[in-house]
Amino acid sequence: MKAALHGIPTRTAMQTEFRILSADATLGDAVRSLLAGSQVDFPVVGHDGQVLGVLTRSGLIKGLAEKGTEHRVSEVMDRRFVIAHPYEMLDVALARLDDLECRSLPVVAEGRVVGMLTPDNVSELMMVRSALKTPPSRAEV
């Protein structure tokens, strides 16, 4: 898989339609975001737009059970996360997920979240490429 991803930039596989949660949002707000779509992990940002953590589905459920809906996302978000850059190669970005419980990478450019990357996104990209028999292209870089 690593060889198949070599030379492909992260922006090729990242989700560009996603929800971001404010650190001040409540767990109830997070539940509404979770149920509104298929996204399961949410980047959490401060007032300045900088990523402070990632709220995972499992973290949200655990937080709901322990704290209820009125507590802040910042109280249960995962602070152990990594980010990727849109032009960084996929194989390099995904390698950083190996030691983390969080399976999503916020993709950040100029201090703002511009995408989300998950192993599922990468798998979907590989399936599409396989169906189209499309080799990686330097034009994507």
Domains of the chain: 2-134 (3.10.580.10)
- Compute how many other C-beta atoms are within 10 angstroms of the C-beta atom of residue 62: 12
Which stretches of 1-141 are assigned E, i.e. beta strand?
Answer: 21-22, 42-45, 51-55, 105-109, 112-117
Region of poorest pLDDT, from 21-35, 47-61, 114-128: 114-128
Nearest by Cα to 84 from 134, 118, 56, 59 = 118
What is the mean predicted confidence (pLDDT) over 103-132?
90
Residue type (1 letter), 63: G
Residue 141: what pLDDT? 45
Average pLDDT, rounded, for the chain: 89
Region of poorest pLDDT, from 7-16, 18-27, 95-104: 95-104
94 contacts: CB under 8 Å, gap ≥ 6: 5, 105, 117, 119, 122
| 84: pLDDT strictly greater than 60 | yes
